[in-house]
Structure 1
Amino acid sequence: MEVNSIAILGCGWLGFPLAIKLLDKNYLIKGSTTSVEKLPVLKEHCIAPYLVRLDPEKFTDDLTDFLNVDLLIINVPPGRNKDVPDDYGLKMKQLADKVTKSTVKKLIFISSTSVYPEINRIVDEEQLDLAKSAPALRMLAAEEIFNGLENIETTVIRMAGLIGPNRHPGRFFAAKENIPDGLNPVNLIHLDDCIGMICHVIENGLWKQTYNGVAPTHPSKTDFYDLASLKLYGKNALFLNEKGDFKVVDAKKIIKTGYHFKHPDLMEWLSQTPQS
């Protein structure tokens, strides 16, 4: 089935520029926001605007029309507030029920590489022993929900740590000292490649798959974040020369499909970012 219309659930840091890129490729794009104030912004950029709040008690009326598309991209991570009871699973189950009653035939679910445990080696999409933390279990449960939908071809993209505009990596350790695990490798992906991978999946019909969204280079925290801190603040981030539990998330599966990373070398990208 050819994809002509796409709904992006969550037009934030990733979803909004993704919508702009897909518009440039002549897809009809619907975008959702939970903020009334953002609706005119979407409309101004020719994104059909929808107010969609995933309230388990009552879904907004806009959702039915929003889902009248060929492809749905779900970009809604679980909340991080530990003091609030987690209703992410319920939201995803109820959303899935709505999706099964819609015209959606293809689905991309944006997950996270947090589902992989830190087992001191390379991990890939075939990894069976997955993380047991609450955030990881939420994401895995959501993946399972959408992978299990009948008559809908779902592809899961597990994104690593996100960097790019308004997410400069220098802010993570902000000229701090005695930071542990300085020898641990980093697992990151630039916004350009988040968008590039999603477009690649759509344009090449890579459905019913799981892919890692992560740059193929993994510099140490010391090398990467010290330079990032220097770039952003003009001060070093000082790490301890030690290695704790880690993982190296493998990007080979998506590369084998012909995807070429726009920022494969994280140190090169960082070195070329403007000085603060």
Structure 2
Amino acid sequence: MDINQIKRIAIIGCGWLGFPLAKHFQKNGYLVNGSTTNINKLQLLAENNIAPFLIQLPNTIDENSLAHFLNADLLIINVPPGRSEEKGANYGDKMEHLKTEVLKSNIKKIIFISSTSVYDENNGWHTEESNSFANTASGLRMLAAEKTFTAVKELDVTVIRMAGLIGPERHPGRFFAGKEAIPNGLVPVNLIHLEDCIGVIEQIINQSLWNQTFNAAAPTHPSKSDFYDLASRQLYNKRAQFIKEKKDFKIISADKIVSTGYQFKHPDLMQWLVQNHQN
């Protein structure tokens, strides 16, 4: 199936990333199915010409609704495991249930939105070939979820490991403003802007880059102290004061997606902060 055969896209998880992604594809001529766990969001999806579905994994009340949702040519899975143990506990069950239903459908292509949290803090670079993985509960859950789908030979699955997400309603200045003695101030940051999240996903589809894994992180990695202090001063006019130390860290390489011809819309994170503040 090439790009011309993809007419309808199903996006499970229309939150901060999924909703603008759905709007983007709808405006570009695709038919889009969008799922939410919030009944109050169904109208918002419909108002944006996105076919709305109320999907709550793994205990979907109406399996027919899930089957109708999966009536598409491409599925984008955008369901994070959650940071708390309580939220993440049944993440594996959710993904297994979804896989079972996908295999009953006509879907053959999947983009799985993962996270760079799967990588260990190895004090160096991570490419997609890295096998140094984090031993955290959330990282292990995400890695297992990737394999839930990539192990299915009948499916063409591409995994995108997203770095920390920034952009509208996720200004980085909200994290550390006014705080002091914040540890690890000299470590590099790994972030990606919403517009590049959408851009990378679109690149995968346009170039038919299936059965691969891609890191998605801005190619610049300023220090934590430089970046978040500037962000904090911009948003709240308060300093974020870090300890000038460099302990455990990781740097995410985006060279692979760049090698496909993708050009980041926001490659320079410090410049983005300045421009964002001016606007």
Specify the TM-score bucket, using the shorter chain as the normaliser.
Answer: over 0.9
1:41: which partner in 2?
Answer: 44
C-alpha distance in 1 between matches for 2:113 and 2:60: 24
2:261: which partner in 1?
Answer: 258
Give the 3-state SS of the residue equivalent to 2:6 in structure 1: coil
In the alignment, residue 41 of structure 2 is paired with which amino acid? K
1:54: which partner in 2?
Answer: 57
In the alignment, residue 265 of structure 2 is paired with which amino acid? K
Cα gap change, 1:72/1:189 in structure 2, threshold over 3 Å: closer, same or farther? same
Gapped regions of structure 1 (runs ≥ 5): none
In the alignment, residue 93 of structure 2 is paired with which amino acid? L
2:6: which partner in 1?
Answer: 3
User: What is the TM-score with the length of structure 1 in the denominator?
Assistant: 0.97
Q: Which runs of 4+ in 1 moved over 3 A?
A: 56-61
C-alpha distance in 2 between matches for 1:56 and 1:49: 18
Give the 3-state SS of the residue equivalent to 1:189 in structure 2: strand
* 8 Å contact from structure 1 (residues 222, 239) kept in 2: yes
* 8 Å contact from structure 2 (residues 58, 93) kept in 1: no
Give the alignment partner of residue 198 of structure 2, picking from 195, 198, 210. 195
Cα root mean square deviation, aligned: 1.4
2:152: which partner in 1?
Answer: 149
* 8 Å contact from structure 1 (residues 226, 237) kept in 2: yes
Return the offset for 1:84.
Answer: 5.5
1:168: which partner in 2?
Answer: 171
C-alpha distance in 2 between matches for 1:265 and 1:223: 13
Give the alignment partner of residue 245 of structure 1, picking from 226, 245, 248. 248
In the alignment, residue 30 of structure 2 is paired with which amino acid? Y
C-alpha distance in 2 between matches for 1:24 and 1:160: 26
1:18: which partner in 2?
Answer: 21
In the alignment, residue 256 of structure 1 is paired with which amino acid? S
* 8 Å contact from structure 1 (residues 70, 104) kept in 2: yes
Gapped regions of structure 2 (runs ≥ 5): none
Deviates more, 1:73-82 or 1:12-21: 73-82
1:91: which partner in 2?
Answer: 94
| Count of aligned residue pairs for this structure pair | 276
C-alpha distance in 2 between matches for 1:83 and 1:73: 24
C-alpha distance in 2 between matches for 1:218 and 1:157: 19
* 8 Å contact from structure 2 (residues 122, 132) kept in 1: no
1:81: which partner in 2?
Answer: 84
The reply on whether 1:230 has 2:233 as its aligned counterpart is yes
2:71: which partner in 1?
Answer: 68
C-alpha distance in 1 between matches for 2:226 and 2:84: 31
User: What is the TM-score with the length of structure 2 in the denominator?
Assistant: 0.96
Cα gap change, 1:98/1:165 in structure 2, threshold over 3 Å: closer, same or farther? same
Give the alignment of 1:208-219 within 5 angstroms: 208-219=211-222
Fraction of identical pairs, as percent: 58
Cα gap change, 1:140/1:75 in structure 2, threshold over 3 Å: closer, same or farther? same
